Amino acid sequence: PPVWYDLQMADYRTKTMTLAEWPAFRKSYEDFFAASGRDKRLALFIHADEKAADKSLLLIPGFQSGKVEALSPGGWQDAGDVSGKAWGVLVGNDTANADFGLTPPVVFHGWDV
């Protein structure tokens, strides 16, 4: 089976992150993702809360989550059911939403910081 065979059954972790925390975490995650060879089992997703523009819910798959969480310690928790929300890809392969079986947002602006 392809590498991403079990991705749609992945366990996920979430963290609410502020816009102020984002630039440092983004750089660290992008470096980690590049060092992995853009592993399809890795991706960083966002569910933006329109009521709170200064913070958003980030989502990572369980694969190597301990290493990812170490890039931004504290506040991570089990995600539970991630269906029913639209998840934009912040860092990942072009097919990340489909690979993980996550619904992409209709319009996605992300945190362009």
Token pair, residue 97, equals 């939403």
Task: Please give the residue that has the higher pLDDT: either 54 or 35.
Answer: 35
User: Would you say residue 51 has pLDDT above 50?
Assistant: yes
Which of the four pLDDT bands, split at 50, 70 and 90, describes residue 109?
low
Of 17-21, 65-69, 103-107, 108-112, give the lowest mean pLDDT range.
108-112
Average pLDDT taken over every residue of the chain: 84
Q: What is the pLDDT of residues 17-43, one digit of tens each?
A: 988 998 999 999 999 999 999 999 999
Write down the pLDDT at residue 3: 47
Mean pLDDT, range 83-94, rounded to an integer: 90
pLDDT at 100 over 50: yes
Given a cut of 50, whether residue 5 has pLDDT beyond it is: no
Q: DSSP for 60-107, please give it.
A: EESTTHHHHHHTS-S--EE----TTSB-EEEES-TTHHHHHTPBPPSS
| Strand boundaries in 1-113, DSSP class E | 12-18, 44-48, 55-61, 77-78, 88-91
Q: How far apart are CA 7 and CA 62, in angstroms?
A: 9
Q: What is the amino acid identity at position 18?
A: T
Share of the chain above pLDDT 90, in %: 51
